[in-house]
Structure 1
Amino acid sequence: MLSSISKLSNFVRLERLALDNIEPKHLEQVFGELISLPMLSSLIIISIRNVNNISIIYRQIICLPALKYCQLLLGKSSRADSLPVATNEYSSMEHLIINHCIFIDQLVNLLSYVPQFRRLSVHLLRHRWNQ
């Protein structure tokens, strides 16, 4: 799998990518490759296990320059940190589907990065009771 991931950046005209049943440990390398794909406008990621810190993945998605559509199923996160509210960094994303649990504060902060948003679908939205 790792050797295949390192070749993703060769597909500079790639517009759509679906990663199904990907191990969370490979996501960092995947995003390292995806950032160099200037035409990637659609991304689907389905992880087969829980991720360590889901906010890191949100941050990497925001950095993808041409992304318009993103669908995520990432399982539970062992850390539920929130992104900071956007100040001068914005995403071109217009359509986001989150098929895993996300806390309200995480979603609000994530939405601050996407001023061109048109569609949002969230499978399970939760409130943090321990704040």
Structure 2
Amino acid sequence: RHTRYGDKYVTVVIDLTPVRDGTGPARLLDMVAGRSKQVFKTWLAARPRAWAAGIEVVAMDGFTGFKSATVEELPDAVAVMDPFHVVRLAGDALDRCRRRVQQDLHGHRGLAGDPLYKARRTLHTGTD
């Protein structure tokens, strides 16, 4: 339900161990209202210490609050960016570069007939 008030973000916590081990799909652990360092820290603090000590890797988006909470609450875990967000950041950088080259070469933004503009899909997906 969409409302005018309230937090529109949710922190989703997923166990990727089965995917890493090849034993099954990812497992949803929890969904918590809000998206902040404090929300993630509070969620981690509510877990048993023995459970938290078993966490080796934390995959997340680029939000610095999650990274800070991970460093503070799980000092032995390695924090990494999930593959989706890595590819998205690379695609965004590639698109900015393509637009800059288009502007430098032609003095205008890409038009439908411009080769660099036509190459957008190929650059992002590897397909025509």
**Shorter-chain TM-score category?**
under 0.3
| TM-score normalised according to structure 2 size | 0.26
Q: Which has the higher contact order (CA 8 A, sep 6+)?
A: 1
| TM-score normalised according to structure 1 size | 0.26
